[in-house]
Amino acid sequence: MTISQDQDALLWPEFIQVGDIVYPPGGTFGPRLQNYTQLVMIHTGEMTVWVDNQPSYAPAGTVSILFPGHKERFAFAADSDTWHSFIHMTIPNISDSLDARLRRLPWPLPLSQPMTDLTFNALALRTTTLSTADAMLKALGAQMLWRYIGEGERLLMGNASTTPHPAIERVRQFIQSHLGEPLTLESLASAAAVSPSHLIRLFQSEMNTTPIAYVWERRVTMGIELLENTGLSVGMIAERCGFQTSYHFSRRIRQATKLSPLEVRRRAWQRG
């Protein structure tokens, strides 16, 4: 789906604020008039919100969007604490098409690991002394809205991979951070906090591959990216991507591209 630059600009917040709070059992909030476009991430407990007297329910592990101009009243879990984060934004002149895309999404959405990471990154900016903190927070807010749209639209299309198992998310992040190291099925399963056999079943079910095959796919992808975008030697790239020899790296690159590593680099550097 192609998005114009004009539409991109319309999702840039003019004002933004982030926070989190823990409500005790039976906690309530409101009624209040919503003045912002707000994302609410429920980490523990649950939330029922009445928007213009119409109730909607959001359990733990979900993210919800609220729109300005509506009267809201909240009730949280009756028998446990409810911990939720929020980010609210003023987005001037949002286009009708983007507003419609946001409003047609399922409510609530599953709270994915990437969205959780963005939330915690935004919360961490509350204590920073960087002069760029406000701009960084606005960038994170815009990214969270685009991710909310993307994940919601993928869910509308019936793509089961919209909400991968948490173990899949954990191991994918672990792989990306440790590509240059020896990776075994056992080490991946430990990072995912599941058994090796269960991890294999999850990958086969949700990604139609195996954990180790995914590792090699990511190594090849990173290798191609480094060939195209850096001046590092082939040997250095092979080492950084977790290949034991340059020969093995070159063989995998040729299998993927029909080109040698140097040909991959030459093709990229000679483009337009």
What's the mean pLDDT in 123-152?
93
Segments making up each domain of the chain, as ranges: 5-156, 166-269
pLDDT digits (tens, 9 = 90+) for 102-132: 999 999 998 887 888 899 999 999 888 889 9
pLDDT score at 112: 86
**CATH architecture of the domain formed by 5-156:** Sandwich (2.60)
Parallel, antiparallel, or unpaired: how do β-strands 37-44 and 82-90 relate? antiparallel
pLDDT of res. 168: 86
Instruction: Output the CA torsion 68→143→117→32 (10° steps).
Output: -10
pTM above 0.85, yes or no: no
Instruction: Encode pLDDT of 158-199 as tens digits.
Output: 754 445 678 888 888 889 889 999 999 999 999 988 999 999
Instruction: Determine the average pLDDT of the residues in 235-258.
Output: 94
* Residue 10's pLDDT band (cuts 50, 70, 90): low
Q: Which fold has domain 166-269?
A: Arc Repressor Mutant, subunit A (1.10.10)
| Residue 36: Cβ within 10 Å count | 19
Distance, CA of 234 to CA of 219 (rounded, Å): 13
Task: Go through the chain and tell me how many residues it has.
Answer: 272
Among the listed residues 223, 230, 212, 231, the one whose alpha carbon sits nearest the alpha carbon of residue 260: 223
Flag whether pLDDT at 36 surpasses 80.
yes
pLDDT for res 95: 84
Q: What is the pLDDT of residue 219?
A: 93
- Residues 86 and 95: their CA atoms lie apart, in Å, by 23
CA 187 to chain centre: 23
Predicted confidence at residue 2, as pLDDT, reads 41
Using only C-alpha atoms, the chain has a radius of gyration, in whole angstroms, of: 22
For residue 192, CA distances in Å to 61, 118, 133, 199 come to 18, 20, 32, 8
